[in-house]
Structure 1
Amino acid sequence: MRGVSTLLLLLILCPSIMYPQAITDTLKEATLPNCIRYGLEHQPAIRASLIDEEITEATIKNKLADWYPQLNVTANFQHYLKMPVSIFPDFTNPNGPKREVQTGVRNYFTPQLALTQTIFDRDVLLASRTARDVRKQAKQTTTANKIDVAAAISKAFYDVLLSMQQIQVLEETITRLDRSLKDAYYQYQSGVTDKVDYKRATISLNNSKADRKVAQEMLFARYAYLKQQMGYPAEKSLQLSYDTTHMEGEVAFDTLQKVQYESRIEFQQLQTQQRLLQANLKYNKWSYLPTLSAFGYYNLIYQNDEFSKLGSRSFPNSYVGLGFAWPLFQGGKRIWNVRQANLELKRNEVAMTDLKNNINAQFSQAIATYKGFLADFYAQKENLDLASDVLSTLTLQYKSGVKTYLDVIIAETQLHTTQLNYYNSLYQVISSKIDVEKALGTLTY
């Protein structure tokens, strides 16, 4: 009794013992790999593909079930409102007129146990020979969707980072401009300069604040798009975790790699489709072959003129046999079915050739874009150092009275533009690298 009381107390104090813990839909550390992993588990397109795989598996098992023996029970009740009549010769007078005789009884009840076994049938033969490729086709569709989701999440992830970096650059710019504005105002108050420098600083500061507002709104929209690609709840927060220094190391890529068509999931899908079409061609050729099946029946026939005595006696019978069907002529239908299957096979071969050309074009475009963005990235990285050095030098010269404030504003604008260009080029080269990997078929998820 004491043990029961202890158990009840535990259930009251710890209800989680009775109910499973709720699965969290949030990410503790939203790195790019974690975001992709989350998307592959929660993205509706992936979940739909996995359900399609289950549907495909159920369909295959449904078709293969026809290979197994089929056991059925049927029953039929029959009551004659008017008895059937049979005509028999008059055995007492063979040369006389024939006699009309009512035959049978009024009530029949016939339960039947039927066992059938397919020996050869082209439908079940096709199902057994194509089951592996049909499963593979469903899995390849899921793989293609996963690749698309991984690429989309990666680009959306970098778009969010780009907006975050733009805001950070604008914050730094606003801080510098605010400081410059104060310096220009103090110099104006002291009579060293006129109000032009002060107003120029105010204009630049206002423009930077407006740009920051635009970037903040864009960040909100890009976060929403990233969540949508991940299948992440829109109402829940998502804070990305990243390392800009590590990202700079990700821009490198071996541009000497060659296209391998078999690595592309689209080409693999066409190869699987080719095997299925070859099986379909054989299926149509098998239409010239007969079908063969075995069967066995056991019947219990209850018959009586009185319904109340219908179940008093049965007249069982049973038999076994073979069923054979051989269609000899169908108006040329089988000939045209075979021709159509051949044309579908050739059509798929043309699609494979066309896909190879498209893959070559995609790779050439992607690798050219990547190389261009890579060169721009290295140039912007060098410009960033130069622009920062120029601004520092001109700021000191302005405070010494050597340079005008206009020179400082121009240098400030150049640094601001160069910083934005640098981060734009960084994310563009990483995004174009994703396109190259996708074109090569080497994008992992």
Structure 2
Amino acid sequence: MNSSKQVMFLIMAAVGCFSVSAHAQDSASLPEKATLPDLIDFALENRAVIHQAELDEEIGEREIASALSGWFPQINADASYNRNIKIPTAVIGDQVISMGQKNVGALVLQADQQLLNPGLLQASKAAKYIRQQNALNTEDSKINTIVEVSKGYYDILTSEEQLQIVQENIQRIQKQLNDARARYETGIVDRTDYKRAEISLSNTLAEQKRVVQLLGYKYAYLKELVGLTPEQSLSLSFDYASMESEMLLDTTLTLDYQRRVEYQQLQTQRQLQQLNTQYNKWTFLPRLSAFYNYAWDYRDNQFADLFSRSFPRSVFGLSLNLPIFQGGKRIQEIRKSRLMEDRLDWDIVNLRNQLNTQYELAMATYQANLNDWRTAKRNVELSEEVYNTIKLQYDEGIKTYLDLMTAETDLRTSQINYLNAMYAVLSGKLDVQQALGTIDTNN
């Protein structure tokens, strides 16, 4: 018996492990060295705000279905029981006759069908635009996710490259420190060059530590953006050579307001407000509905025999309700709704101006950053040439160590400026694409 239980336990454990393993294999995961497209795809599948937007769409569908359910027959069942303490009477001729019995019960089934209802008409017309509005909200969340994840990736890319530059500087300064120590020990120079090299090395090591600590935060922030938990690991793949090819943008593109999600959202609100105005006009229409019921009445003086016999009855009819006067409320609601339409028209005008300003700013910033990047790239080449020349002259005793330190500082500064300019261009390109409405969430 015990052996059988052990076998069953092992089988169940194996099935459980297989289920967990299969679930883990089915779930999306990032590759060992994730590229930017990998991060974007993962974020669009796993980020919380995307799931929330998609759930909002599902909630919207349920709300639409709930609102439209009023067009279907509404079936209700009612049951009642009354104990007549004093039975009603009626006088017929010179006789007093009891009208009823002590125990009365009823079971009623009724079906109601709306035939004309302004509220249901509005719900039917508005369903299309509510779906469109919810889908646009999801699209907006996806666009923001693509932009934020891309900027986070580019930020880490430039920081990783900056760390590499700092590490190369440390190696170079360490060599200079060793050379200065050797020259000082042989009496060629005084201890000034040696101390300056120590100071420069100490500052560069501090800079390295700062970059490493900030990188930790940037990786944590990117995890948050793509939907990874803090416990999950994240390693990235960088193709520095392809970054330059991704910087260029067609600056001849013109702004089309219809491509912007924000503009489409406001247009949808305008259409919904027009429907609201129409609904307020429909409130002058009557409400027409049909009903049918079937009932079983039970009557008896003895409670034990109450349900021994039933007295069926049934009725079909139409119900018409025509609101004639409501103190002018409907007229005021129509006027208010029209004013809200006018206000949305001005919101659209204001949004167009804002989108145009955003585009002009993004394009001007991108072009300025692109020019800064080209200048920084040229400065890196020049500073490398100057440093190599002064390094040779220092080794030959022509230049002082201060000249070498100045050339090295200029080189490091130009390299860092180049990286910052590269990030600014890549980030600015995303801003221009977002302003143009050309970010494709499906590709």
Q: Tell me the TM-score normalized by structure 2.
A: 0.93
Aligned length: 432
Identity %: 40
Match of 1:218 among 214, 217, 228: 214
Residue 47 (structure 2) pairs with residue 43 (structure 1): yes
Structure 1 letter corresponding to 2:287: T
Contact 1:112 1:298 (C-alpha < 8 Å) held by counterparts: yes
- Show the counterpart of 2:292: 296
After superposition, give the CA deviation of every residue in 1:158-201 in whole Å (9 maximum; x if it has no partner): 12222212211110100100011111111112222211111111
CA distance in structure 1 between the aligned counterparts of 2:113 and 2:17, rounded to whole angstroms: 52
CA distance in structure 2 between the aligned counterparts of 1:9 and 1:312, rounded to whole angstroms: 61
Mapping of 1:180-329 within 5 angstroms?
Answer: 180-329=176-325
- Show the counterpart of 1:73: 77
CA distance in structure 1 between the aligned counterparts of 2:246 and 2:418, rounded to whole angstroms: 15
Match of 1:152 among 140, 148, 151: 148
CA distance in structure 1 between the aligned counterparts of 2:40 and 2:223, rounded to whole angstroms: 11
Mapping of 1:382-393 within 5 angstroms?
Answer: 382-393=378-389
Match of 1:85 among 82, 89, 107: 89
After superposition, give the CA deviation of every residue in 1:302-354 in whole Å (9 maximum; x if it has no partner): 11111011011111111111110000001111111111111111111111110
Shift, 1:213, TM fit: 0.9
- Show the counterpart of 1:27: 30
Shift, 1:13, TM fit: 5.5
SS of the counterpart of 1:319? Answer: strand
CA distance in structure 1 between the aligned counterparts of 2:81 and 2:145, rounded to whole angstroms: 61
Match of 1:64 among 68, 74, 78: 68
Structure 1 letter corresponding to 2:100: G
CA RMSD across the alignment:
1.9
Residue 172 (structure 2) pairs with residue 161 (structure 1): no
SS of the counterpart of 1:288? Answer: coil
Contact 1:298 1:316 (C-alpha < 8 Å) held by counterparts: yes
CA distance in structure 1 between the aligned counterparts of 2:28 and 2:84, rounded to whole angstroms: 69
- Show the counterpart of 1:140: 136
- Show the counterpart of 1:112: 108
CA distance in structure 2 between the aligned counterparts of 1:51 and 1:81, rounded to whole angstroms: 57
- Show the counterpart of 2:122: 126
Residue 368 (structure 2) pairs with residue 372 (structure 1): yes
SS of the counterpart of 1:323? Answer: strand
SS of the counterpart of 2:283? Answer: helix
Match of 2:336 among 317, 329, 340: 340
Shift, 1:7, TM fit: 12
After superposition, give the CA deviation of every residue in 1:88-118 in whole Å (9 maximum; x if it has no partner): 3525xxxxxxx65431111111111111111
Change in CA separation of 1:17 and 1:167 when aligned onto 2, cut-off 3 Å: closer
Contact 1:11 1:18 (C-alpha < 8 Å) held by counterparts: no
Structure 2 letter corresponding to 1:227: K
CA distance in structure 2 between the aligned counterparts of 1:24 and 1:198, rounded to whole angstroms: 58
- Show the counterpart of 2:418: 422
- Show the counterpart of 1:54: 58
CA distance in structure 2 between the aligned counterparts of 1:115 and 1:34, rounded to whole angstroms: 56
Shift, 1:152, TM fit: 1.2
After superposition, give the CA deviation of every residue in 1:413-437 in whole Å (9 maximum; x if it has no partner): 1111111000000001110111111
CA distance in structure 1 between the aligned counterparts of 2:159 and 2:66, rounded to whole angstroms: 52
Which segment is superposed worse, 223-232 or 209-218?
223-232
Structure 1 letter corresponding to 2:41: R
Structure 2 letter corresponding to 1:21: H
- Show the counterpart of 1:331: 327
CA distance in structure 2 between the aligned counterparts of 1:84 and 1:161, rounded to whole angstroms: 92
Q: Where does structure 1 lack aligned partners over 5 or more consecutive residues?
A: 1-5, 92-98
Shift, 1:444, TM fit: 2.5
CA distance in structure 2 between the aligned counterparts of 1:134 and 1:90, rounded to whole angstroms: 68
CA distance in structure 2 between the aligned counterparts of 1:317 and 1:356, rounded to whole angstroms: 66
SS of the counterpart of 1:437? Answer: helix
SS of the counterpart of 2:326? Answer: coil
After superposition, give the CA deviation of every residue in 1:223-244 in whole Å (9 maximum; x if it has no partner): 1211122221112221111111
After superposition, give the CA deviation of every residue in 1:21-48 in whole Å (9 maximum; x if it has no partner): 2255642132111112211222211111
- Show the counterpart of 1:3: none
Contact 2:29 2:42 (C-alpha < 8 Å) held by counterparts: no
Change in CA separation of 1:208 and 1:24 when aligned onto 2, cut-off 3 Å: farther
SS of the counterpart of 1:301? Answer: strand
- Show the counterpart of 2:427: 431
After superposition, give the CA deviation of every residue in 1:93-146 in whole Å (9 maximum; x if it has no partner): xxxxxx654311111111111111111111111111111111111111111111
Structure 1 letter corresponding to 2:144: D
Match of 2:357 among 356, 361, 367: 361
Structure 1 letter corresponding to 2:102: R
CA distance in structure 1 between the aligned counterparts of 2:134 and 2:112, rounded to whole angstroms: 32
CA distance in structure 1 between the aligned counterparts of 2:27 and 2:64, rounded to whole angstroms: 35
Residue 399 (structure 2) pairs with residue 403 (structure 1): yes
Residue 408 (structure 2) pairs with residue 412 (structure 1): yes
Residue 168 (structure 2) pairs with residue 172 (structure 1): yes
